Structure 1
Amino acid sequence: MAHTTDTEDPNRRDFLYIATGAMGAVGVGALAWPFIDQMNPDASALALASIEVDVSAVEEGQSITVQWRGKPVFIRNRTEAEVAEAQAVPLSDLPDPLARNANLPANAEATDPNRGVEGKENWLVQVGICTHLGCVPLGDAGEYKGWFCPCHGSHYDTAGRIRKGPAPENLLIPPLEFVSDSQIKIG
């Protein structure tokens, strides 16, 4: 009577272990895929990867809010006084010395010209989300007559730079360009 032992036929057992493990891995992957896939942006967010905004009706001193990638974007046609006030602020007075402008290098200083678009200094386009905890600040408010986040007391100036409060960074400037005198492409 012949007896088989593990040493005589190890390949069969090894194959069964490997095949079982592979089937288990495929099963886990098949179960996990719907959960991973649902984290991707939906079609409406992808469709808004870039938007064009007509700003011809925005008067000097007025602001509008548009949606871009599900976030509010503040577009303000600043007055000459607001631009002059923002340009007069020394960088040493700013808690965040960086421009946070997606159109410039990451280390660009937070000067007023670096917060806008060259040749269109009166226009300020910024993501309207407070950099402290993600609240939406109020426009034409606060100690610096820019934006004010009432949730935790962050004050931004007329260039969207943090001046007082718990917010650690200036409001973000999204990628943008003027495609004409009255059309802004965001994204």
Structure 2
Amino acid sequence: MTTEASSDPTRRDFLYIATGAVAAVGAAATVWPLVAQMNPDASTIAAGAPIQVDLAPIASGQDIKVFWRGKPIYIMNRTAKQVEEARAVELSSLPDPATDQDRTKEGHEQWLVVIGICTHLGCIPIAHEGKYDGFFCPCHGSQYDSSGRIRQGPAPANLPVPPYQFVSDSKIQIG
């Protein structure tokens, strides 16, 4: 006695397909967490990953604050007047002498990028405040100019410049 194979799907064919689908979903659900745990966590990324910042929306004379490695970073689009005033300062009058050219990138002198932590006791200075149109630390009165250099007050050093580079005319990478 011979039987003919039917081309119609049977209940057994459905069970094979359903079992295979459940096995595939189960395998994916098992593998997903194993692969996901290999990615670095958010604290590791925040601890050292470089960030990119678009400078296009920052108008002349404005600044923004971003965070990198848990530190506030001020990015200031200085006016031509601010750049000129910063470059006209006598180095001998500065407690921590540094030229404006050393604190900015060539060809992008209007952009100042500094870590916004006062070098006195770690307070956060306020931008566009004080006598020098730079940064003012309200906690103890330190005043920085528009180049982030200490000009007056108890702070011993200039605001640090983080490692950064221009990846295009309107975008920087910090870190």
The offset of 1:44, in angstroms, is: 2.7
Residues 7-54 of structure 1, C-alpha deviations (whole Å, 9 max, x = no match):
xxxxxxxxxxxxxxxxxxxxxxxxxxxxxxxxxxx9434313210001
Matched, 1:147 2:145: no
**Alpha-carbon distance in 1 for matches of 2:168, 2:44:** 24
Q: Is the 8 A contact 1:45 1:70 kept in 2?
A: no
**Structure 2 residue aligned with 1:169:** 157
Q: Is the 8 A contact 1:129 1:171 kept in 2?
A: yes
Identity %: 58
Q: Which stretches of structure 1, 4 residues or more, deviate above 3 A after TM superposition? A: none
Give the TM-score taking structure 2 as reference length. 0.75
Q: Which runs of 5+ in 2 are unaligned?
A: 1-39
The offset of 1:184, in angstroms, is: 0.5
**Alpha-carbon distance in 2 for matches of 1:147, 1:153:** 10
- Matched to 2:155, the amino acid is A
The offset of 1:143, in angstroms, is: 1.2
**Structure 2 residue aligned with 1:179:** 167
- Matched to 2:151, the amino acid is R
**Structure 2 residue aligned with 1:9:** none
The offset of 1:59, in angstroms, is: 0.5
CA RMSD of aligned residues (A): 1.1
**Structure 1 residue aligned with 2:54:** 54
**Structure 1 residue aligned with 2:91:** 91
**Alpha-carbon distance in 2 for matches of 1:163, 1:53:** 28
**Alpha-carbon distance in 1 for matches of 2:148, 2:44:** 27
Summarize the Cα distance change of 1:85–1:45 in structure 2 as closer, same or farther, 3 Å threshold.
farther
- Matched to 1:58, the amino acid is I
Residues 76-128 of structure 1, C-alpha deviations (whole Å, 9 max, x = no match):
0000000000000011010012xxxxxxxxxxxx1011011111000000000
**Structure 2 residue aligned with 1:67:** 67
Structure number, greater radius of gyration: 2
Aligned partner of 1:113 among 101, 104, 107 = 101
**Alpha-carbon distance in 2 for matches of 1:111, 1:92:** 11
Summarize the Cα distance change of 1:176–1:133 in structure 2 as closer, same or farther, 3 Å threshold.
same
**Alpha-carbon distance in 2 for matches of 1:171, 1:61:** 19
The offset of 1:145, in angstroms, is: 1.2
Aligned partner of 1:158 among 133, 140, 146 = 146
**Alpha-carbon distance in 2 for matches of 1:130, 1:151:** 10
**Alpha-carbon distance in 1 for matches of 2:121, 2:41:** 27
**Alpha-carbon distance in 1 for matches of 2:66, 2:73:** 5
**Alpha-carbon distance in 2 for matches of 1:168, 1:180:** 34
The offset of 1:151, in angstroms, is: 0.1
